[in-house]
Amino acid sequence: MVAPNTLLKDGRYLIIEQLGDGGQRTVYKAGDQSLSRMVAIKEAHFSDDDQRQWLAREARLLAGLEKHQSLPMVFDYFAEGSS
């Protein structure tokens, strides 16, 4: 779990509050400090390589789709604290 006022990705995203929690993911409301906009950040709670690869594929697939009101837009994908 990420605490409010935490900065992620070299200070780009400022966590404001937790929006939801379920299963293996937590969603946060955050401010994109570079582009001055509000974003949602999905934090995945797993360490398995297969699951991390699945999440990366999900991000790439969503980012490649046309904009639609029923689909989330993906602006970024990163693994915090990984080597």
Task: Write the CA distances from 65 to 14, 21, 24, 35, 53, integer angstroms.
Answer: 26, 26, 24, 22, 19
* Residue 48 pLDDT level (bands cut at 50, 70, 90): confident
Looking at residue 72, what is its pLDDT? 86
For 11-78, the DSSP string reads TTEEEEEEEEEETTEEEEEEEETTTTEEEEEEEE----HHHHHHHHHHHHHHHHSPP-TTSPPP----
**pLDDT, mean of residues 1-18:** 92
What would the CATH number be for the domain defined by 7-64?
3.30.200.20
Flag whether pLDDT at 16 surpasses 50.
yes
Please tell me whether the overall predicted TM-score, pTM, comes out greater than 0.85 for this model. no
Flag whether pLDDT at 17 surpasses 90.
yes
Q: For the chain, what are the domain ranges?
A: 7-64
